[in-house]
Amino acid sequence: MTLDANLIWTIVSLVLTLFIFSYLFGDNILFRIACAILVGCTAGYLFVLIIYRVILPKLVVPLIEGSLIVLVPLFLSGLLLTKLSPKLSRLGNISMAYLVGAGAAIAVGGALLGTLFTQITGAVNSFAINDGTTKGINGVIVLESAFFLIGTISTLVYFNFTARSKDGQPAKRSPIVNLFAWIGQFFIAITLGAIFAGVLTSTITALIERIDFIITTISGFFG
């Protein structure tokens, strides 16, 4: 076995994996060492990444090439540094306002156009019971669409907590709302169960991958 970089990193990966597995016996120093190494490496890697992937290609290089437009983000970035000083922190509000405003506008616009409207359109299109390929009405599509519709409505109704209050009586939802909310509980439970199953399978897959890595590495050491 030659001692190359891949072997070294493989050994380091094996050791750190075993450190993480030591959490099985509770919180211990090995687990904390592995976590500290992960955090430190991530921070260092992020710093280098910002230098090489953000500052140099998007600020230094354009300045060298003579582009003055980058002075605007440079100025705004400088204002952000004033947040470190309590006296000058108000100057950084300009940059923060720009960032928050632009981010919120993009996020809201994307959510409306990319999720809300398209999902409504998708729900409506699910009732396209005749796609032109078959004659008559496809009963399966009808049932499936109705099931989706009931699931969607009942789930939304379940999260409707508003109700009218009468004189001298506590606020109560109408029987129809209560019925749909009761149905919505089943859809929510099924959804959460599916998510939990996905999480479980994901973690099982990650565990299998790590154990396979350990077995492969150890078997590689011993030929």
Partner 1 sequence: MAEINCPICNRLNKDEAERCWYCQAVLHPEKKNADGSSDWLDGFRQENTETPFEESNEASAGSDESPEDVPDWLARIRQREQLEHGGEPEQNPDGEKDTLDWLRSAVGNESPTESNTFKPAEVNEPAPTESDNDADWLGKLQSWQEESSEPNKSPAPEHPFEQEPKPSFSGPSNQEPDWLNEFKSEAAQSEPLPPEKQPDDSSTGDKPSPENISAFEQEPKAPIAEEPIIEDSIPPTDAIGFSIPEGNVVKPSSPEPDWLTDFQSLDETKDLADQVMPKPAVEEPVKAPFSGRDIMDWIDKDRSTPEEKPENAVEQVEVPQGTDEGIEPAKLPSWLQALRPDKSKRGIAGSTTSSDLNQKSPLAGIEGVLQDSVIGQFYTRPQTYANTLKITPEQENHLQRLQNIAGEARWEAQESVESKRQSSILLKAVVSLLLIGVIVFTVLTQKNSLVEPTMYSQPVVETFNIISALDPAKPVLIAAEFDSGLYGELKWSSESLLQQLMARNIPIAYLSTTQAGSTLFQATITDLARKNQDYSLADHTLNLGYLTGGTVGLQALANDPRGTLPLTTLMKPAWTDTPLQNTEKISDFSAVIVITENADTARYWIEQVKPSMGKTPLLVVISAQSAPMLQPYYDSGQVNGYIAGESGGTAFEKMAGVEGSSTSHFSAYQSTLILLVVLIFVGGMISLVLSTPSPERSDKNQS
- Site for partner 1, rule CB under 8 A: 24-26, 42, 45-46, 49, 52-54, 56-57, 61, 102-103, 106-107, 110-111, 113-115, 118-119, 121-122, 125-126, 191, 194-195, 197-202, 204-213, 215
| Rounded least distance, CB 33 to partner 1, Å | 17
Q: In angstroms, what is the minimal distance from the CB of 162 to partner 1?
A: 26
Q: What are the CB-based long-range contacts (under 8 Å, 24+) for 72-81?
A: none
Q: How far is the CB of 150 from partner 1 (least distance, A)?
A: 16
Q: What is the 3-state secondary structure (H, E, C) of 109-167?
A: HHHHHHHHHHHHHHHHHCCCCCCCCCCCCCHHHHHHHHHHHHHHHHHHHHCCCCCECCC
Minimum distance from CB of 18 to partner 1 (Å)?
Answer: 12
Q: Which CB sits closer to partner 1, 143 or 211?
A: 211
At residue 164, φ and ψ (nearest 5 deg) are: -90, 140
- Helix, strand or coil for residue 68? coil
Based on CB atoms, which residue is closest to partner 1, 88 or 107? 107
> Nearer Cβ to partner 1, position 49 or 71?
49
Chain centroid to CA 134: how far? 40
CB of 24 or CB of 84, closer to partner 1: 24
Closest CA to 215 of 25, 202, 28, 207: 207
Task: For the CB of residue 56, give the shortest distance to partner 1 in the complex, in Å.
Answer: 7
Spatial distance between the Cα atoms of 77 and 84, rounded to a whole number of angstroms: 12
Identify which of residues 29 and 200 has a Cβ nearer to partner 1 in the complex. 200
